[in-house]
Chains A and B, each alone.
Chain A
């Protein structure tokens, strides 16, 4: 049994009380704020995501309307830019924080924790930076592009 083996590994009979001392304190408000953030962002995300699903899939022509042009149209308005930006950031911070918690709970060695968290934060930065860039710089008809790669409405 692995837990038993771990308990034994941590209990050198020769030097009792040596290897399983509690580490020094790690006090601070970080975990408090992260705990509150998870609850608050969760509520906001429910509204944002269901609003997003309704507007994209139900309202108007429904799911048939979703195409390249539909997304371009939405991102032409600052309202939807902010909406999607909020959704991206909140979801990414919420999800990353959740996975960080899971890593803390399940990784037993500090080395494993470090590697997993580095991978997690790298993924976070890549997705958030690229996503933000796309939301604000999205141009459905970039100039000087071959016409066959552009959507039909660009020529209009």
Chain B
């Protein structure tokens, strides 16, 4: 009698303190495994037990480590900094490592797909090369003229603030692969390349703004932006991507007229 009572109170204390509630969650993973399942992509469901503190990445780990080692995805730092694990979660581009399962309504299966518009290599892994090709085209490095200064290139806090938002990009491709214009044929530069051009165009230390604006003043450049705000909604760093694109457009118009 006493023992039972003790156990009951013990369990109650346990659930109240320290123990994180756990629940079963089903993940519908979009799989593409040409070596075993042919050239057609297909859905596969996995059910795992997860805790309220778990992120989608933890559930994917559990699947890969305990259920099916063939499930393939990219991740590196697992803390929202490296930008490796962008994927389409319940139809929205998110980082798996920054998405809590409890925020995704675990009562229904959670769909996990590779980001759209880039060629799928396997399961959730896409070929990022077209994405990085347009990134390289905007010359994402400091361009200056004249002699090297003997000390740092000074900049006021206000001048730094001007492009602060676009310095946060981690090149995860969540924005570019959420853009309907990019989905069409992949020729559009994409929000990420424009954001990184913005980071230098509005940097007071940089002198390559004219070149960068000329590069983006392209049929596939900023003018293909339809301001649908998908990129801003997708950005895991909260960058106001569409606003940055509009600022680049404005700079071009000022230059032309």
Contacts and interface: CB of A to CB of B under 8 A. Distances in A.
Contacts of B184: 104-108
Interface string B38-54: 01010000000000000
Contacts of A35: 223, 249
Nearest to B42: A4
A4 B120 contact: yes
Contacts of B224: 31, 104-105
A31 B223 contact: yes
Contacts of B249: 35
A74 interface: no
Nearest to A1: B41
Contact of B133 (A1, A4, A22, A32): A22
28 contacts: A3-B117, A4-B32, A7-B114, A8-B32, A8-B120, A11-B120, A16-B121, A17-B129, A20-B130, A21-B130, A21-B133, A22-B134, A22-B187, A26-B220, A27-B215, A27-B221, A28-B217, A28-B218, A28-B219, A31-B217, A31-B221, A32-B252, A33-B256, A35-B223, A36-B257, A105-B180, A105-B181, A105-B184
Nearest to B219: A26
A7 B116 contact: yes
Contact of B256 (A8, A32, A107): A32
Interface string B131-160: 001100100000000000000000000000
Contacts of B253: 32, 36
Interface in B198-233: 214-215, 217-221, 223-224, 226
A21 B218 CA distance: 17
Contacts of B129: 17, 20
A36 B134 CA distance: 25
Contact of A32 (B30, B117, B223): B223
B187 A23 contact: yes
Which of A13, A32, A107 has the largest count of B CB atoms less than 10 A from its CB?
A32
Interface residues of B, number: 41
Interface hub of B116, B119, B137, B257 (most chain A Cβ within 10 A)? B119
Contacts of A7: 114, 116-120, 126
A6 to B, nearest CB: 9
B218 A27 contact: yes
Contacts of A23: 187, 220
Nearest to B183: A3
Contacts of A50: none
Contacts of A25: 137, 215, 218
A26 B215 CA distance: 9
Contact of A20 (B186, B218, B221): B186
A35 B134 CA distance: 22
Contacts of A26: 218-220
Contacts of A105: 180-181, 184, 224, 226
A22 B218 CA distance: 13
Contacts of A34: 223
B14 interface: no
Contact of B217 (A29, A36, A107): A29
A36 B255 CA distance: 13
Contact of B127 (A4, A17, A32, A106): A17
Given A21-B133, A32-B223, A35-B223, A108 B185 contact: yes
A153 interface: no
B34 interface: yes
A8 B126 CA distance: 10
Given A11-B121, A22-B137, 5 more contacts: A1-B41, A17-B129, A20-B130, A29-B256, A105-B184
Most B C-beta atoms less than 10 A away, residue of A10, A28, A34? A10
